[in-house]
Structure 1
Amino acid sequence: MDGPVPRSGRIIGLDVARGLALIGMLFAHTVPETDAETVFDGRSSILFAVIAGVSIGLMTGGRKGVAPDGRGRAARVVALRGLVLIIFGIALTAFDTPIAIILDTYGFLFLLAIPLLYVPRWVIAAVAAAAAVLGPVVVTAIGDAIDGATGRTAVVLDSVWLYFPERWLDGTYPAPVWVAYIAIGLLIARSGIRRPAVQFALVVVGGLAALAGYAVAAVLGPPVLAHDDSTAEVIASGGATVAVIGVLVWLSESTPERVRRVSARILWPISSAGSMPLTVYSAQIVVLWLYIENVPHQGLLGWQNLPLFFALAIPTLVVTGLWRLRFEQGPLEWLVSRVTTQRPWRTNPPRAPEVTPTR
């Protein structure tokens, strides 16, 4: 009988899910809008946001939560990571690409999530539900107030200090709605994501929520659209991402050793990319900026095209896979770790991309 496979600090299923989100966002960025893109557009960034919530939960105690004597350190680490993400988001926005940069919004959501680190699970669930139901109403009200008072264009152009707060509240990823995804991820971490029962619940509850959300929206109202930030999108797309996380974590944590070993080998490139999301995302934005600025693109091969997707996706998987064989962290992840937790540079011993069983 297969014995257990040792578990490191990382949950490989989360890395795989994060890698899929990165590749999905790259597809949405580089391929013209078609029916195929709708599979990735919106949902990939939602998956990324939910996993960000899970990561916050895991780094602050997981299922046990934050110990009373560790609350200050937990708040400091999350706040510092949020501020670093805001800085990176602002820097990438300065490249002025056609892509809606998401990092600064994630950083702002990290700051908003700090009070949730210390509350019971039912409070986190209540916040997620409130954001799903009331968030779209709040975003609409904020947008109307901005447009009615001074005009959106005037606000954005006249004051650099208002540009980011305005877009965090009423942009592509409005915080009043998107805090629901962070709260959902935090709730998953606080429930004990390594437990098979929790993984099963994620698949069932997430799958049923997705089916119900898409079905009800199709029957009673307009269909769920990417980035419409409606209650239906939170329930449907959010539920789908929860189910995906449940399946991938179950595959990496709760299946027999042989299945875990084979899946670890097969999914190694994607999990490697997902283990260094800040590095991969930032590099993709910079490369896209260089491409748009310097490579002629007209007609059928406009700056968005399928060959461009493969030209970026394949090297991303190859380079991160090779990097992961030697180093535990990506370069920007190492930098963030040093800034927020003062951890040293960590390397992996040369090894094959597989999980080794215990004796």
Structure 2
Amino acid sequence: MSPAPVEAETRGGLPARHRLVWVDVARGLALVSMMIAHTAPSGGPAGVLNLSEFLTAALFAALVGVGSALERRRYGAGRTLVLAAVRALALWAAAFLADLFGAQVVDILRHLALVTLAMGVFGALPRVGRAVLALVGVALGVWLTALGTVTVAAHLSAGLAPLQEATAPIRAQLGNVGAALEITDPEVLMWTASYLTAGPYRLPLLLAWALLGSVLVASVVRFEGVARVTAVAWAGAGLLVAGAGLAWSRWHIGEFPTPYTASLADVAVTGGLVVLALGLCAAVVPAHLPWLTDPLAVAGSMTLSVYVAHQAYLGWAVGGWTVFGGALQPGPGPWVNAAGTDDTWFNLVVLIVAAVLLPLLWRRLVRARPWQRGPLEGVVGLVTGRIAR
């Protein structure tokens, strides 16, 4: 969700300072999907809005891979790794900022920070290697979830025991600091549940989608722009895989697969939708459909700031803000339903409209670089700009 890298110069084959608009459109689509997942009070016609539960997190992760691949083409593996570390730190800091608002959502920024850092390393692999590693990530995510949190945590604790013993003398000399560095079994259990097995976000699967995104963008970005035939082929493959997952689930249990469960049907639908979304964006956006793509591109060009702003709004809607010791309470209104949650059509409309209008207003008022990219994007740009130069 950090500012989109700019694909450029001779190594990438595109004009200097050229921005891949279809990537911004994909980011905007991820934001809209997230807002639907967070606030839509129903699944809509035939439950089509429920697909946002499968698409959102995976598409954000895939876009991390897209950005990593584009930066590596421009800057090489070394600087891309440094940029990944900066972006990961920025995402972690933004997660703490988002926590202050108390929104009723499960934040994904910390997971994406780890995925960003991992892609700084794995992005240097050749395309085939990344594709194979993506398959390994999918298999690992499904397998670890099937094993269960307690079993995986027990194996991790046993594996860490030799390291703990080897570092015991050093930690003893460090006193209280060394004691704080000791990893206890409850901590391993909590980390396992939060990042590997219990969901809704699992690192092996998120990393798999990021690797998949890096493979896809490498295959569709060419010296003349975007290879639309390849993009359409990716979209078609994604549609087939997602359709197969839905059909299997309908036949097997009579309904949609349950999202965030890491079942085979869930993974098939999720992976298929990600490929479908990225493939369509790469194929359709260059065809110049501004009435469809421009609003999404506007939102997607300021993703991190829009994401945190949406957390701030939802936190206000359900509980209000505390500012300088005073409370700003929303009171009753269309921003909460009868159960006191934020699942309302009013919130969905407000968030989508604001996702377009806020970036437009910001860019009209702020012209200086890197702040024109967005408030949070500008902070990150101060550091990444120096590294890029």
- TM-score grouping bracket, smaller chain normalisation: 0.7 to 0.9
Q: Distance in 1 between matches of 2:16 and 2:276?
A: 22
- How far the C-alpha of 1:182 sits from its partner, in A, is 0.6
Residue by residue over 1:227-272, the C-alpha shift from the partner in whole angstroms, topping out at 9 and shown as x without a partner, is: 122233222222122122212222222x3xxxx1xx2354322211
Match for 2:41 among 28, 32, 42? 32
What corresponds to 1:242 in structure 2? Answer: 275
Query: Displacement, 1:337?
Result: 1.9
Report the Cα distance in structure 1 between the residues aligned to 2:72 and 2:77, rounded to whole angstroms.
9
Tell me the residue number matched to 1:178. 206
Give per-residue Cα distances to partners, 1:151-193, cap 9 Å, x unaligned: xxxxxxx988986675122332110222111111111122243
Check if 1:338 corresponds to 2:382.
yes
Q: Which residue of 2 is the match for residue 292 of structure 1?
A: 318
CA distances 1:19-65 after superposition (whole Å, capped 9, x unpaired): 12112211221233544541322312222221221111111117xxx
Amino acid corresponding to residue 266 of structure 2 in structure 1: E
Relative to structure 1, is the Cα distance of residues 56 and 231 closer, same or farther in structure 2, using a 3 angstrom cutoff? farther
Distance of aligned partners of 1:303 and 1:207 in 2 relative to their CA distance in 1, 3 Å threshold = closer
Instruction: Give 1:144 shift.
Output: 2.5
Query: Alignment partner for residue 65 of structure 2, among 36, 53, 59?
Result: 53
Aligned to 2:264: 231
Shift of 1:280: 0.2
Bigger mean CA deviation after superposition, 49-58 or 220-229: 220-229
Where does structure 1 lack aligned partners over 5 or more consecutive residues? 1-5, 150-157, 345-359
Specify every segment of 5 or more residues in structure 2 that has no aligned partner in the other structure, as ranges.
1-14, 156-184, 320-328
Residue 141 (1) aligns with residue 147 (2): yes
Flag the 1:98–1:127 CA change in 2: closer, same or farther, 3 A. Answer: same
Name the CA shift for 1:270/1:164 in 2 (closer, same or farther; >3 Å).
farther
Q: CA RMSD for the aligned pairs?
A: 3.0
Give the whole-Å Cα distance in 2 for the aligned partners of 1:202 and 1:233. 19
Tell me which residue corresponds to 2:227. 195
8 Å contact 2:22–2:281 — kept in the other structure?
A: yes
Return closer, same or farther for 1:321/1:163 CA change in 2, 3 Å cut-off: farther
Residues 94-128 of structure 1, C-alpha deviations (whole Å, 9 max, x = no match): 54432000111100111222332221111111111
1:269–1:318 contact (8 Å) kept in structure 2: no
Task: Name the SS for the 2:53 alignment partner.
Answer: coil
Alpha-carbon spacing, 1:320–1:278, altered in 2? closer, same or farther (3 Å): same
2:357 is aligned with 1:318: yes
Q: Secondary structure at the match of 2:297?
A: helix
Conserved 8 A contact 2:306-2:355? yes
Query: Which residue number in structure 2 is paired with residue 91 of structure 1?
Result: 97
Distance 1:298 1:43, change over 3 A: closer
Between 1:15-24 and 1:38-47, the stretch displaced more is 38-47
* 2:228/2:282 contact within 8 Å kept: no
CA 1:8–1:245 in 2, change beyond 3 Å: closer, same or farther? Answer: farther
Quote the Cα distance in structure 2 between the aligned partners of 1:161 and 1:96: 26
User: 1:15 — aligned with what?
Assistant: 24
Counterpart contact for 2:318–2:341, Cα < 8 Å: no
Aligned pair count? 319
Aligned to 2:194: 167
Q: Which entry has the higher C-alpha Rg, 1 or 2?
A: 2
Identify the residue that residue 307 of structure 1 maps to in structure 2. Answer: 346
Structure 1 ranges of 4+ moved more than 6 A: 146-149, 158-162
**Normalised TM-score (structure 1):** 0.78
Q: Does the aligned pair in 2 maintain the 1:16–1:271 contact within 8 Å?
A: yes
Matched AA of 1:275: S
Corresponding position of 1:120: 126
Bigger mean CA offset, 123-132 vs 112-121: 112-121
Calculate the TM-score normalised by the size of structure 2: 0.73
Higher mean alpha-carbon deviation, 218-227 vs 91-100, is at 218-227
